[in-house]
Amino acid sequence: MRFHQALPTGAYDVARYLSETGVWEFGLRRGAGGLRVCANRVGLAEYEVDYAAGPDPLEAGVLFQVVKIVIEAHPEQVLSGWLAGALPQCRVRDQPCEACSHELLRLAALSVQRSRAPSRSLWKERTFS
């Protein structure tokens, strides 16, 4: 999916993004431990993705970008619950979590690699035709 910026709401008071067909919401909000990076299906009250990003906007912005890369690697059609299963579920509530940050960075790097790798079918075409 691809996110585009949208008007902030109460649930996303710092920055809000919507997927192309408006099914997924993603962004930054003020909450426990400073800023939080969150995502959910539009219309569902619970955040499916919810990470404490600390009080520093620059640090929070880095986590925001990393999580954005990871989520955008998933198709927009995934059902609710999918992202919760695909991204680390953090048990640290109110402060940035190093373990989750590392795992998210790993997932983001994988996503970038996959999006840049030529597909297998293309490779076959080039090799055998």
- Closest CB 48 distance from Zn ion, rounded Å: 15
The footprint of Zn ion on this chain (CB under 5 A) covers a number of residues equal to 5
Q: How far apart are CA 62 and CA 120, in angstroms?
A: 32
Nearer of residues 102 and 124 to Zn ion, judged by Cβ: 102
Spell out the alpha helix ranges (H) of 38-97: 57-72, 82-86
Nearer of residues 92 and 109 to Zn ion, judged by Cβ: 92
Helix or strand or coil: residue 38?
A: strand
Nearer of residues 23 and 105 to Zn ion, judged by Cβ: 105
**x-marked contacts with Zn ion along 65-104 as a string, rule CB under 5 A:** -------------------------x-x----x-xx----
What are the residues binding Zn ion (CB under 5 A)? 90, 92, 97, 99-100
